[in-house]
Amino acid sequence: MLTLIEKIILSLLVLLTGVLFLAPVVKRIMILACCQPVSRTDLLLRRFFYTVSRVFLQLCTLKDERPWTGAAHLLIFYGALAFDTMTVNHVIEGYVDGFYLFGSTVAGRLFSASVDLFSLTVLAGVTFFAVRRFFLKPPAYNTGNRDSAMIYTFIFLAVATFLVFNMFSVASHPGRHTWAFLSRWLAGLLGVSSLPETSLALNLKISYWLHALAVFSFIAYVPHSKYFHLFAGPVNLFFRRSGPSASMKPINLETAENFGLEKASDITWKDALDAYACVECGRCQDVCPAFQSGQPLSPKMVIYNLERHLLAESQKIIRNKREELLPLVPGVFTEEEIWACTTCGACLHACPFDIEHPDKLLGLRQNLVLAMGRFPAELGGFFRKLEIHGNPWGYPESEKTAFISELGVKTLAEHPAARYALWLGCFGFYDERGRKIARSMVKILRSAGLDFALVGKEERCCGDSARRLGNEYLFQALALENLKTLSRHNLEGLITFCPHGYNVFKNEYPALLEFLEGFDEEEKRKLRNIRVISHPELLAELLASGRISAGKLQSGLFAGIYTVHDSCYYGRHNRLLEEPRKILKAALPGKLQELRNSREHSFCCGAGGGLMWTEQKPGKRVNHQRCREIVASRARLVASSCPYCLTMLEDGFRDLAAADITVMDVAEILAAALTDTDRLSDS
């Protein structure tokens, strides 16, 4: 098709496109290479199949949050695959006249029809996104308008020039076996076939070059834009976190050179890859409780600003000029946005590419607290009480002793052969509402005949809030005491009724054994053999095995509509979603009304990430938003499985003058059902 000179020009165009494409890619890879290491090479086969399924089945975009957006993306994605194949064919055809990848086979004819079909689907998808972005203007699309306009233009030009070229191609080769229905229809509609042969040949060549320029311009532009996610996104999926989403990597305080994230060179290569993979879709922002309540935090903007900073400071990062880098706070992020995160994980769950937003914010908190000594004023007292008294309220140990005596349960010191230990935690020991849950748990465990004991007054706070508020030193000090206490016993299981305690015991304490001093191998073995059991898991297991049985509670409260508030740390982070519902089904005769935001889509109560202990920031209260959703469900009973959530929901209903809605822990409900009465005499 092309003359020798034209083939040389085409070769130079391909080379130039490659250079323009690869230059920013190489720069990004060099930045990655200068970031801190993190291991993400376990379970390689599982990672591979996860990535393939998420990308090629488009499960990354076909999520509940935006079904129509996912469908539109699907139309474009498969069209892009077809056009990528056609681009290879287009280039080779420039060198070999009449070349066609699939020849005149049936597969070739089907492919020719599919490309024409995908031309329509791609244009439909692009139209959907253009209307949504430039006319509907949702808040999530508050960035990238120029990028989007450029990309939509490039896609339109690539499709349009292909159809024009293919129209002249089918007219120029009437004997070629092709099912390109749209191109043939356009050729007939415009009377192209009746053009003189010389005119056809000229138009074919012109349209060839127009399509080549459109496609190569598109390819060269992509890595300079947010659409680099087309390449970084699948890689990010492959290197996703393989463990529980809420687990934090510990800092070895004895060997660490820096605490947390002070400058861009402190982030891991996975943090940088997260920034490259962001498509700026705003799904994370849409589901963020802090953003929805008017707090100065958008998880989208955290990643967006991080990427901009990495690219702007790329030469300093690559040349290891750490001293010349701006501090991330306040150079890139504000303290207000850092302290607004509840660590609920909704952003991570909604992200098409599994970007790990909370890790960045928690790393920034660690640096502010450990290196700078900067944190909200009210946390000073909170940290001191935890350090001195081992609980966030600063209550004396005598409070523990009195409550242990009231429960009438032996401690591990009194019953060292116990198979299970019930961890009461700060709420169970000191908060009156938490004590009701503790009484219910004791009643159920006794009814099941379980051989258990209390850890007792040796319990210290599990340290979850201290860690997520950035005080890793205090967290590890508390964890060391707790681990030492547990290592003195041969326990089979540790039972918790707080999702935050469950998460740190199960997912974070084990990693500390790798470097905390003071444990011999036998103690480490005993600690690693302890099964950490959440109370929804345990209660559901006891019901299923017949160790306990529940009668249906029949009072008006229990017989009406009820709903479930899924805690972030049991539900979204640790996938304990069915267990609370199994318990309630056994105990309640009423109808379960699922909330609009339920199960893994649950809306945070606002207390996670240590914010239980901070003052309310300007804006709407997160718990008020959740409570309004519950009020709208018409449920009169709300089942919770977290003392933090229970407290926040009760406070919210009180503030909203909805005191007729009752909030109860699943253990309280089941404990009442064990008596087959509608009275909560023991709780």
The whole-number average pLDDT for the span 100-120 is: 89
For residues 681 and 240, give the distance between their C-alpha atoms in angstroms, rounded to a whole number.
48
430/460 same-domain check? yes
Asked if residue 456 and residue 563 are part of one domain, the reply reads no
Domain end point (choices 313, 340, 373): 373
> Which region, left, alpha or beta, applies to residue 373 given φ > 0 means left and ψ of -120 to 50 means alpha?
left
Regarding whether 548 and 514 lie in a shared domain, the answer is no
Q: Please determine, for residue 134, whether its predicted confidence score (pLDDT) is greater than 70.
A: yes
Tokens standing for residue 127: 């139209």
**pLDDT tens digit string along 171-187?**
888 777 688 899 999 99
- pLDDT at position 63: 77
Given a contact cutoff of 8 angstroms between Cβ atoms, the answer to whether 218 and 84 are in contact is no
- Give a yes or no: residue 236 inside a domain: no
pTM: 0.92
Q: What is the pLDDT of residue 682?
A: 39
**Helix or strand or coil: residue 61?**
coil
208-212, 475-479, 587-591: range with lowest mean pLDDT: 587-591
How does residue 556 score in pLDDT terms, banded at 50, 70 and 90? confident
Answer yes or no: is 577 within a domain: yes
Residue 390 lies in a domain: yes
675 pLDDT tier (thresholds 50, 70, 90): low
The percent of residues above 90 in pLDDT, for the chain, comes to 83
| pLDDT the model gives residue 680 | 38
- The CA distance from 668 to 683, in Å, is 7
User: Are 57 and 107 in a shared domain?
Assistant: yes
> Tens digits of per-residue pLDDT, 244-256?
899 999 999 999 8
Report the pLDDT averaged over residues 366-380: 95
- pLDDT tens digits along 602-653: 999 999 999 999 987 666 899 999 999 999 999 999 999 999 999 999 999 9
Q: Is 459 helix (H, G, I), strand (E, B) or coil?
A: coil
Please tell me the predicted confidence (pLDDT) of residue 27. 97
Question: Distances from the Cα of 595 to the Cαs of 285, 386, 500, in angstroms?
Answer: 20, 36, 23
258: in domain: no
Query: What are phi and psi for residue 660, nearest 5 degrees?
Result: -75, -10
Do 205 and 105 lie in one domain? The reply is: yes
Position 677 pLDDT exceeds 70: no
- The three-state (H, E, C) secondary structure of 75-106, written as one string: HHHHHHHHHHHHHHHHHHHHHCCCCCCCCCCH
In the predicted model, what is the mean pLDDT of residues 144-167? Answer: 94
Between CA 543 and CA 160 the distance in angstroms is 63
pLDDT of residue 101: 83
Tell me the C-alpha distance between 570 and 498, whole Å. 9
Place of tokens 């997520």: 468
| Angstrom distances, CA of residue 117 to CA of 33, 56, 73, 180, 336 | 42, 19, 16, 9, 50
Three-state DSSP class for residue 493:
strand
Position 242 in a domain: no
pLDDT at residue 82 tops 70: yes
Pick the range with the lowest mean pLDDT from 68-72, 175-179, 212-216, 391-395.
175-179
Inter-residue contact 353 to 73 (CB < 8 Å): no
> Residues 71, 108: one domain?
yes
Side chain identity, residue 163: L
Judged against a pLDDT cut of 90, whether residue 15 lies above it is answered with yes
* Residue 131, C-beta contacts closer than 8 angstroms, at least 6 positions apart: none
Helices and strands, number each (H, E), in the chain:
32, 8
Domain assignment present for 11: yes
Q: Tell me, yes or no, whether 100 and 129 share the same domain.
A: yes
Q: pLDDT of 412-449, one tens digit each?
A: 999 999 999 999 999 999 999 999 999 999 999 999 99
| Number of folded domains that form the chain | 4
Cβ atoms of residues 549 and 591 within 8 Å? no
Query: Would you state the structure tokens that stand for residue 176, as one six-digit string?
Result: 């070629």
Q: Hey, what are 506's tokens?
A: 């199960």
| pLDDT over 80 at 558, yes or no | yes
> Can you give the pLDDT at residue 618?
61
> What is the helix, strand, coil percentage profile of the chain, to 5?
60, 5, 35
Tell me how far apart the alpha carbons of residues 100 and 149 are, in angstroms, rounded to a whole number.
32
* Last residue of one domain, picked from the residues 541, 561, 581: 541
pLDDT tens string 497-518 = 999 999 999 999 999 999 999 8
Q: Tokens for 60, please give them.
A: 């990354």
pLDDT-based confidence at residue 105 (cuts at 50, 70, 90): confident
Claim to verify: residue 177 and residue 223 sit in the same structural domain: yes
Which pLDDT does position 559 carry in this prediction?
Answer: 83
Does residue 494 belong to any structural domain of this protein? yes
User: Do 158 and 32 reside in the same domain of the chain?
Assistant: yes
The number of residues in the chain equals 683
Buried b / exposed e across 660-676, counting CB within 10 Å, b at 16+? ebebbbbbbbbbbbbbe
The domain that holds 310 is classified in CATH as 1.10.1060
In this predicted structure, what is the pLDDT of residue 98? Answer: 78
What's the pLDDT at 172? 86
**Domain identity same for 456 and 599:** no
Q: Is 463 left (phi over 0), alpha (psi -120 to 50) or beta?
A: left
Quick: pLDDT tens for 310-358.
999 999 999 999 999 999 999 999 999 999 999 999 999 999 999 999 9
* 396: pLDDT strictly greater than 60: yes
Q: Please report whether residue 252 resides in a domain.
A: no
Q: Is the pLDDT of residue 9 over 50?
A: yes
Please calculate the CA angle 58-277-287 and round it to the nearest 5 degrees.
75
**Sign (positive/negative) of CA torsion 502, 505, 511, 516?**
positive
Going by C-beta distance under 8 Å and a sequence separation of 6 or more, which residues neighbour residue 291?
Answer: 285, 297, 298, 299
> CA–CA separation, 592 vs 589, rounded Å?
9
Q: How many other C-beta atoms lie within 10 A of the C-beta of residue 653? A: 22
pLDDT, greater one: 307 or 555: 307
Average pLDDT for 243-268: 92
Output the pLDDT for position 616. Answer: 72
Angle at which helices 521-528 and 472-487 cross, to 10°: 90
Instruction: Write out pLDDT tens, residues 517-527.
Output: 989 999 999 99
Per-residue DSSP letters for 113-165?
HHHHHHHHHHHHHHHHHHHIIIII--GGG-S-HHHHHHHHHHHHHHHHHHHHH
Give the pLDDT mean for 11-31.
Answer: 96
pLDDT of residue 286: 95
Averaged confidence pLDDT in the chain: 93
Instruction: Provide the domain limits for residue 43.
Output: 4-231
Last residue of a domain, which of 231, 250, 272?
A: 231
CATH of the domain at 212: 1.20.950
Task: Write phi, then psi, for 229 (nearest 5 degrees).
Answer: -60, -20
Give residue-wise pLDDT tens across range 41-74. Answer: 999 999 999 999 999 988 888 877 788 888 999 8
Is the domain of 518 the same as that of 587? no
pLDDT-derived band at 103 (thresholds 50, 70, 90) equals: confident
CA distance linking residue 261 with residue 356, whole number of Å: 15
CA dist., res. 131 & res. 114, Å (int): 25
Are both 583 and 648 inside the same structural domain?
A: yes
Is the Cβ–Cβ distance between 559 and 589 less than 8 Å?
yes
